[in-house]
Amino acid sequence: MIFELNEEQKFFQNRVRKIYEREVAPLVDEYERQETFPVPLFRKLGEEGLLCIRCPREYGGPGLDKVSECISTEELNRICAGIGAGIMVHGGLAADPILRFGSEELKRSYLMPAVRGEKIGAFGLTEPDAGSDAAGIRTVALREGGNYRINGLKTFISNGTICDFVTVSAYTDPAKRGAGINLFVVNREDPGFSVIKKLKKLGNHSCDTAELAFDDCCVPIERMLGEREGGGLEQLEETLKSGRITYGARSTGVGQAAFDTSLSYVKEVRRGGEPLKRSQAIRFVLAEMAMSIEVMRYTTYRGAWLFDRGLAKMKDASIVKLFCTESLQRIVQKAVEIQKEAGLVMENPVQRYLRDARLFKITEGTSEIQHLVIARDLGL
């Protein structure tokens, strides 16, 4: 057992930290306020090879491992979870299925431009009536000659308003619950595809989130991932497994940011005529934050390490997501609470950490779903 990053990973960590501080940090306030994503960032991070970190070199990616992806995710989310969400969905949920299950042609026409940041990806699974119950989606893709005709509604879609393509889940056989699903790549220009509305959210403001409609949207059969009808849910499993481990890194990043802010606050402020850092209760709060972050980070790395070796089960990914996203809540809540009214001011990032972190217990499988996954793995 070696509990240390290797030299290459340490070098990478140092490099991405600098890049995100230089390229992302100056954008945060403006784009959070506007509630839009800084689109030019895609090309910039594409040039740095940071969009699809696990994509092999033959398709233009750096071909790094999941641990490295988590390192990058933590550093980016320490700066901004909203921007982190857009980048994560693009490189993970949208691009991953194409990399794993797409044809050579799809990899060339979607994955490679995505790696460079020339095309922005989104991921369309959740629907108004199907959130936790993914098999309950109602979007259908019915075969008509050389095309599939897609009809349905998707919601809470990150990058929804800015995407060039969406990796969409739909039933090719609605009679087979769960089994009859397939994934399709839909172009922004495809007739019948439209963005209905942008959603106003509690947090992750710099991530564009929208509702998408597919109204007799015809795509050629070549845009289906995989060669046969059915089996889309199994394809999604791998993508979601990876995504849930990523949430460990996302949580660690936001937690670290909240901790850093809290530590400097506590060192500066006086309360009751005494320096706040002399308060034993406050020292315990900070100690607990530090402990949680350390455990979150290593739990994440372990999940990523298992994933890199092909050993990660869905249960392992669920443990990472559940533990880290729940631990994060206590950190950001205490971070806001100890600053009292000052913690509520929009100019103070600590309130953003609270609002951003709250999403993590919901998206990509709620905490309740993670409990179910873990319980099922216990043979219950």
Partner 1 sequence: MDFELSEEQKDIQKAAREFARGEFDPDLTLELDQNGGFPEAIWKKAARLGFIGTHYPEEFGGQGLSLLESALVIEAFCRGDSGIGSALSVVDLGAELILKFGSQEQMRRYLPPLVKGEKRLTVAFGESEDDKDLSHISTTAEKREKVYLIRGLKKFVLNATLANSFIIFCKKSVEGWLPLIVEKDQDTMEVHPIDKMGLRMIPSGDLYLKDVRVSHENRLGKKGEGIDLFQYFHQVMGLRSLAQALGVIGGAFDRAIKYSNQREQFGRKLSQFQVIQHKLADMEVGLEVARWLTYRAAAEFDKKEMDPKPLLVAQIEAGKRMTWAVDEALQIFGGYGYVAEQEIEHFYRDAWAIRSLLGTEEELRDLLSKKILGKG
Binding segment toward partner 1, per CB under 8 A, in 24-32, 63-71, 233-241, 356-364: 356-364
Tell me the window of 232-240, 244-252, 271-279, 312-320 that interacts with partner 1 (CB under 8 A).
271-279
CA dist 129 → 138, 154, 161, 306, 342 (Å): 8, 9, 21, 34, 39
Q: Does 374 bind partner 1 (CB under 8 A)?
A: no
- Binding of partner 1 by 39 (CB under 8 A): no
| CA angle centred on 110, ends 108 and 112, rounded to 5° | 55
Annotated catalytic residue within 105, 229, 364, 368: 364
Is the CB of 59 or the CB of 259 nearer to partner 1?
Answer: 259
Is 287 a binding residue for partner 1 by CB under 8 A? The answer is no
Nearest residue to 66 (alpha-carbon basis) of 239, 236, 325: 239
Structure tokens at 139: 């979007």
320 binds partner 1 (CB under 8 A): no
Spatial separation of the C-alpha atoms in residues 176 and 231, rounded to whole Å: 11
Residue with token string 């936790």: 132
Task: Indicate whether 306 belongs to the interface with partner 1 (CB under 8 A).
Answer: no
Phi-psi region of 117 (alpha: psi -120 to 50; beta: other; left: phi over 0): left
Least Å distance between CB 42 and partner 1? 24
Q: Are 292 and 335 within 8 A, CB to CB?
A: no
Closest contact distance (angstroms) between CB of 86 and partner 1 is 16
Residue 346 touches partner 1, criterion: CB under 8 A? yes
Cross-strand pairs, 43 = none
* 118 belongs to the catalytic site: no
Using CB under 8 A as the binding rule, whether residue 371 contacts partner 1 is answered as: yes
Structural tokens at position 85? 């969400």
Q: Which stretch binds partner 1 (CB under 8 A): 146-154, 182-190, 298-306, 351-359?
A: 351-359
Q: In angstroms, rounded to a whole number, what is the distance separating the alpha carbons of residues 371 and 315?
A: 9
Encoding tokens for residue 182?
A: 């397939």
Among 298, 367, 374, 377, indicate the residue that binds partner 1 (CB under 8 A). 367
Which residue from 271, 277, 315, 330 is in contact with partner 1, where contact means CB under 8 A?
A: 271
Nearest to residue 254, comparing CAs of 158, 200, 330?
Answer: 330
130 binds partner 1 (CB under 8 A): yes
Site string (205-244) toward partner 1, x via CB under 8 A:
----------------------------------------
Backbone phi and psi for residue 224, each to the nearest 5 degrees, phi listed first: -85, 140
Q: Which residues are catalytic?
A: 364
Which residues in this chain contact partner 1 in the complex, by CB under 8 A?
Answer: 126, 129-133, 136, 155-156, 199-203, 269-273, 276, 279, 281-282, 285, 329, 333, 336-347, 351, 354-355, 358-359, 361-363, 366-368, 371
